[in-house]
Each structure stands twice: as structure tokens, then as C-alpha cells.
Structure 1
Amino acid sequence: MEFDLTWLLLGLPLAFGLGWLASRLDLRQLREDNRRAPKAYFKGLNYLLNEQQDQAIDVFIEAVQNDPDTTELHFALGNLFRRRGEYNRAVRVHEHLLSRGDLSRSDRERAQHALAQDFLKAGLLDRAEDALRRLEGTPYEAQARMALLAIYERSRDWGQASDIAQRMQASGQGDFSTRQAHYLCEQALTLATRGELPAARSLLEQAITAAPQAARARIELAHLQQRQGQADAALATLQAVADTTPAALALAAPLLVEAAVAGGRTQQVGALLRQHYADMPSLDLLDAVVALEGAGGASPEAARQWYVRHLEKEASLVAATKWLAGERLEHEQYHPQIQRALEQASKPLTRYRCAACGFEARQHFWQCPGCQSWDSYPARRVEEL
């Protein structure tokens, strides 16, 4: 059978035409898909800018269903769910991303970081810890370590917190020596509560070595020494506080008075307190001076004259209230009511206030109970700020 070249000549143009038509159809479909994807982005973005999160989520969900391989839409959708507090849905979105085998390494690390944030926001600290530890060696390592540090501080796992802080300092993320000292102090307080005083003292000495400029370790050590009946040692430790961080001496003023009376050194400590009060007047130092004046043999009236001297320098309702408590009024029968009203009015002024979040408390905290910041409470009362 002879082959007819005529069919070949006719078939080649036909095959070419069909191929060209198919390519045009594929290009048209591709262009339509590309138009639809940006349109979904812009439509969702428009809803976000108008703070219409529900509509934005609907648009992004529809876009993800039409094109499940679009990772950016998954990230946008997961972040929206997290912002709305729908943490379970955010977790599902990011876990779905991590389950994909075609995900690039950078997108996988990004999804892992987003999943850790979902768990943190949801308060699932165990799962958040595991997710954050998977970010070691990634571009999100520094952020993950900071989040881990917050978790361990929140759960009061001071050993783990110390380990993370050491690694952060070694990697150049900052100076964490003061925090390390706080962690050692927290562990020492736990040991002291259990009666393990030598071990507690050892940790406090380590804290002083770690952060010589921080006052807390020395103040806690002085408390421990006073508890063990070592008044002279406590006074020596508090003298070191006065030398290294004089602003913090006000926090140790009641302990100074106690140690001075116990050690029979009221004159010496009184001179120290008067000197520091002259340099930086403080209500706590003022109370300590008045207490030592009385312990040293001065009459109550003479001791309370320090409140008058303070009032000559600064208008202080707290100082006025304390001075008036020992005075006799012309209408003495009204004194209790007046004194009670003044004490009630001055009570808020004797609190401490966090400089980071404004949380107020009657006692001084080294870590704010409100915002968890360290060393955010000045060693001064609200009235002195």
C-alpha cells in the first residue's frame, strides 16, 4: 500500500492549528485564574481596611477553596482567625499548611511560628512551648526564645527560664544578667520558705555575683541574715546596697531599723539614713529616721519634728497625716474622725505604681503582677512620683 503524501500535507497544518488553539485556551484560562486571585486579595484587603473582618474572612475562605495551594491566603486567613479570638480555626489553618508536602522551608517555618502564636494566644502553654522549641535554628529563633522565656516566667519555672536567658545572652540578644539574678532570688525564696537557709544563701550570693548593680539580691540576703540573728552581717549587706544602689535603700529602710536596733547601732545607722534622706528625700527613709530617733532616746515630739521638716520642703499629705497622729488638737474629741479621714485619703498615695503599665500595689514588687515587667516599680511611693 502506497503512502499518500497529500494526507500528510493536509494533516500538518491541521495539527498545528489545533495545538495553537489549545495553547490559546490554556493561556486564557491562566489569565482568568491570575485575575481572580488578585481580585480576591484586593477584595479581602478592602474589607480589612474598612474593618469588616467577617466579610474579609468569607472572601479569603472562598479564595482558598478555589485555590487550595495559595499559601499567602492561608496565612492571611489564619491571622484573621487569631485576631478575632477564633484560635481553634487559626490552629487548623496553620496545621493544614504544615501538613502539605510541597511547602517551602521558609513557609514551613513561618507556619510553625504562626501556630506557636495561636497556642500562646489560646493559653495552651504546653503546646505553645513545643511549637516554639521547633523554631530553634530558624529566623524566628529569637522571637521564639523570648516567648519561651515569658512562658517559663509565667509558670514560675525559674530553672528553665535561666537556661533560656543564658542562651539568649550568649547569642547577643541582650544583657540578661539582672533577670538571672531575679531567677536566683526567686529560687532562694522558695528554699528559705522550706527552711533550707544555707542553700538559699548560696543562691543569693550567686545572684550578687551575676548582677552586682542590682539591689534585690543584697536586700534578700540581708533579710536572711537578720532571720538567722546576724544583725551585723545584715547591716554590712545593706551598707553595700547604700553604696551600689542608693535609690533602692528606701526599700530596705524598715529592715535597716530592725537590724540597727537588734545590733545596738542606732546612732550609726541613723546617721546613714539622715545622710541618704538629705541626698534624696523619701517617705520610707523619713519613717526610718523617725523610728531610729525614737529608738535612740529622743522624745516622740522631737522625733515627729522630722515630718514637719519634710513638709517645709514638700507638700505631703502622707507626712502631714503621720505628724497629726501624735498631736493634740484644740477640739480633741474630733481627732479620731479627722485622723481616720486623713488616713483614708492618704492611703492611695502610699502605694507603688508600675512605670510600664500603671498597676498599683500596696507593696513593692520586683516583677509587676499586671504586665510581668521586671524592675518596673520605682522605689518611691505614688505621692513622690
Structure 2
Amino acid sequence: MDFDLTWLLWGLPLAFALGWGASRLDLRQWRMESRQAPKAYFRGLNYLLNEQQDQAIDAFIEAVQGDPDTAELHFALGNLFRRRGDYDRAVRVHEHLLARADLSRKDRDRAQHALALDFLKAGLLDRAEAALHKLEGSAFEGEALLALLAIYERSRDWPQAKRIAQRLDEAEQGSFTTRLAHYLCEEAEQAQRDGDTARALQLLGEAVAHAPQLARGWMALSSLKAQGGHAAAAFDALRMLCQHAPQALPLAAHALAELAVQTGRQAEALTLLQSFDSRAPSIDVTEAMASLSTGPEEARSRYLGHLGREASLVMATQWLAGEKLSDDVAQTRVQAALEQASAPLKRYRCAACGFEARQHFWQCPGCQAWDSYPARRVEEL
């Protein structure tokens, strides 16, 4: 049977037409998907600018489905999940990015950092710590070290916190001298609770040598020596505080007065207190000087002297307590009302977050900031 060339002549144009039609169909579909992905992306941005996070997430999910290889969309989606508090989905997005073999080194480090933040925000500190350690040598190393420092402070792992702070200090990421001294003081408190007084004294000695400008070290050292029966050494520690951290004297004024009485160094203590008082009147310093007075009249004159330079409801209450009025019932009622009114004024307030407390804190319980509590009380701010 002879081959009919007519079929070939008809078949070739037909095959070409079918191939061309198929390619046009694919091109058309690709263009349609390409148009839809940017639309979803820009729609997501619009929702994000209008603070509509749920709608933005839906739009970005649609955009990612249209173009699953786009890393930037995954980063945006993961960050949105984390901001909304949907940490499980944020972790899945960033773990999916890390599983991609075609991801660049820069984007891989970025995804690792984002994953560590997911764990940190979710409160999974052990997994966050492991993720942050993987960022050593990357562009995110500085941020990772700061996050690790926050983790160790939160878990009260002071030796590890000290190690990280030393690395940050050496890397010139800021001055961590005072922070390191705080860690030494925290370790000393733990040693003291464990009954290891020698270790506590050693750590406090390191703290005051490392950061003599930190009042906490001198106060803790003085307290420890006083507990050991060394009142003179305790007084000397507070005298060093007056030299290196004079602004913190109100915090140590009462202890200084008590130690002065025990050691017979009242005159020296009064000189230190009056030197501070002449520059800036303080409630605690005035009360300490009043406790060193020779009698009630001298003590009341201290309160009046303070009131003459600075109005103070706390000092007025103290002065009235020493006065003898004709009507005892009226005096008792007025005294009680003044004490109640002045009680909030005796508190300390965090300069960073405004958290108020009856006692002074070296680290704010509210915002975790160090040295954010002034040495003066609320009424004096």
C-alpha cells in the first residue's frame, strides 16, 4: 500500500495549530495566575495598612498559594501570624522556609531568627534558646545574644547571663558593666540563701570592684558584714557608697544611722547626711538625721527645716506626730488621716513603666528594666 502524502500535508499544520493553541492556553493561564497573585498581595497590604490583620492573612495565604516559591510572602505571613498570637502557624511557616533547599544563606538566617522569635513570644524558652544559638556568626548574632540575655534573666540563670553580657560587652554592643555587677549581686544573694557566706562576700567584692558606681553592691556588702557582726566594716561600706554613688544615699540613710549608733560614729554619719541634705533635701535623709538627734526637739527641728525648703506631706505628718496638742482625740484623728494620705507618696515609681511599689527594686517587676527606680520616693519626683 502506497503512503499518501496528502495526510502528511494536512497533519503537520493541524499538529502545529494544536500545539500553538495549547501554548496560548498555558500562557493565558499563567498570565491570569500572575495577575491574581499581585492582586492578592496588594489586597493584603491594604488590609495590613488598615490594621485588619485577619483579612490580610487570608489575602497573603491566597498569594502564597498562587506563588509558593516567594520567600517574602512567607516572611510576611509568618510575621502576621506571630503578631496575631497564632504562634503554631507562624512556626510552621518559618520551618517550611528553612526546609527549602533553594533558600539563600541570608534568607535562611532571617527565617531562623523569625523562628526563634516565634518560640520566644510563645514562651517556649528552651526551643527559643536552641534556635538563637544557631544564629552565631550570622548578621542576627547581636539580636540573638540580647534575646538570650533576656531568657537567662527571666529564668534567673545568672552565670549564663553573665557570660552573654561579657560577650556583648566585648563585641561593643553597649556597656554591660553595671548589668554584670547586678548579676554578681544576684549570685551573692543565692549563695547567702545557701549559707555560703564566704562565696557571697567574694561575689560582692567582685561586684564593687567591677562597678563601684552601683550602690547595690555596697549596700549588700554592708548588710552582709553587719549580719556577721562587723558593724565597723559595714559602716565603711556605706561610707564608700557615699563616695562612689552619692545619689543613692537616701536608700542607705537609715542603715547608715543605725550603724553609726552601733559604732559610736554619729558625728561622721551626720556629716555625710548633712552634706547630701545641703544639696538636695530628701525624706529618708531627713528621717535618718532626726534619728541621730539628741532629743525630740532637735528631731522636730529637722522636719521643720525640711518643710522650710521643700513642701512635703510626709514630713508634715512626721512633725505632727511629735507635737502635743491640747485635744488628744483631734490630734489622733488628724494624724491618722495624714498618714493615710501620705502613704502613697512614700512609694517608689519605675521611671520606665510607672510601676509603683512600697520597696525599692533594682530590677522592675513590671517591665524588667534595671536601675529604673530612682532613689527618691514618689513625693520627691
What TM-score do the two structures reach when normalised by structure 2?
Answer: 0.93
Structure 1 position 194, deviation (Å): 2.2
**Aligned length, in residue pairs:** 381
CA–CA separation in structure 1 for the residues paired with 2:270 and 2:109? 61
1:105-254 to structure 2, matched below 5 A, reads 105-254=105-254
Residue of structure 2 equivalent to 1:332: 328
Q: Does structure 1 retain, via aligned residues, the 8 Å contact 2:168–2:174?
A: yes
The partner residue of 2:353 within 340, 352, 357 is 357
CA–CA separation in structure 2 for the residues paired with 1:20 and 1:89? 43
Moved more, 176-185 or 27-36: 27-36
Q: Deviations over 1:309-339 (max 9, x none)?
A: 1111111000000111111123222222211
Residue of structure 2 equivalent to 1:104: 104
CA–CA separation in structure 2 for the residues paired with 1:233 and 1:126? 43
CA–CA separation in structure 1 for the residues paired with 2:354 and 2:61? 41
Structure 1 position 20, deviation (Å): 6.7
CA–CA separation in structure 1 for the residues paired with 2:341 and 2:314? 9
Residue of structure 2 equivalent to 1:35: 35
Q: Deviations over 1:253-296 (max 9, x none)?
A: 11101211111111221222112111221111111100011xxx
Instruction: Structure 1: give runs of 5+ residues left out of the alignment.
Output: none
Moved more, 269-278 or 351-360: 269-278
Q: Deviations over 1:189-223 (max 9, x none)?
A: 11112221111111111111211222211111111
Structure 2 counterpart of 1:326, which letter? G
Q: Does structure 1 retain, via aligned residues, the 8 Å contact 2:37–2:62?
A: no
Structure 1 counterpart of 2:376, which letter? R
Moved more, 233-242 or 98-107: 98-107
CA–CA separation in structure 2 for the residues paired with 1:281 and 1:193? 36
The partner residue of 2:375 within 353, 373, 379 is 379
CA–CA separation in structure 2 for the residues paired with 1:156 and 1:11? 81
CA–CA separation in structure 2 for the residues paired with 1:167 and 1:184? 16
Moved more, 374-383 or 7-16: 7-16
CA–CA separation in structure 2 for the residues paired with 1:308 and 1:72? 68
Residue of structure 2 equivalent to 1:90: 90
CA–CA separation in structure 1 for the residues paired with 2:34 and 2:170? 47
Structure 1 position 6, deviation (Å): 11
- Counting aligned pairs with the same residue, the percent is 64
Structure 1 counterpart of 2:297, which letter? E
Structure 1 position 358, deviation (Å): 0.5
Instruction: Structure 2: give runs of 5+ residues left out of the alignment.
Output: none
CA–CA separation in structure 2 for the residues paired with 1:11 and 1:257? 111
Q: Match of 2:292, SS? A: helix
Q: Does structure 1 retain, via aligned residues, the 8 Å contact 2:221–2:234?
A: yes
Structure 1 position 244, deviation (Å): 1.4
CA–CA separation in structure 1 for the residues paired with 2:82 and 2:21? 47
Residue of structure 1 equivalent to 2:340: 344
CA–CA separation in structure 2 for the residues paired with 1:26 and 1:333? 98
CA–CA separation in structure 2 for the residues paired with 1:182 and 1:283? 26
Q: Does structure 1 retain, via aligned residues, the 8 Å contact 2:353–2:366?
A: yes
Structure 1 counterpart of 2:217, which letter? A
Q: Match of 2:272, SS? A: helix
Structure 1 position 383, deviation (Å): 0.4
Structure 1 position 176, deviation (Å): 0.5
Question: Is 2:306 the partner of 1:310?
Answer: yes
Structure 1 counterpart of 2:353, which letter? C
CA–CA separation in structure 2 for the residues paired with 1:175 and 1:88? 36
Q: Does structure 1 retain, via aligned residues, the 8 Å contact 2:250–2:282?
A: yes
CA–CA separation in structure 2 for the residues paired with 1:299 and 1:325? 14
Structure 1 position 10, deviation (Å): 10
Q: Does structure 1 retain, via aligned residues, the 8 Å contact 2:215–2:248?
A: yes
Structure 1 position 36, deviation (Å): 2.1
Q: Does structure 1 retain, via aligned residues, the 8 Å contact 2:37–2:63?
A: yes
Moved more, 128-137 or 65-74: 65-74
CA–CA separation in structure 2 for the residues paired with 1:33 and 1:109? 30
Structure 1 counterpart of 2:351, which letter? A
Question: Is 2:259 the partner of 1:259?
Answer: yes
Moved more, 90-99 or 164-173: 90-99
- The alignment yields a C-alpha RMSD, in angstroms, of 2.4
1:67-82 to structure 2, matched below 5 A, reads 67-82=67-82
Structure 1 position 17, deviation (Å): 7.6
Residue of structure 1 equivalent to 2:61: 61
Residue of structure 2 equivalent to 1:51: 51
Structure 1 position 32, deviation (Å): 3.2
Structure 1 position 355, deviation (Å): 0.5
Q: Does structure 1 retain, via aligned residues, the 8 Å contact 2:212–2:245?
A: no
Q: Deviations over 1:90-130 (max 9, x none)?
A: 11221222222222222221111111111111111111111
Residue of structure 2 equivalent to 1:286: 286
Structure 1 position 24, deviation (Å): 5.4
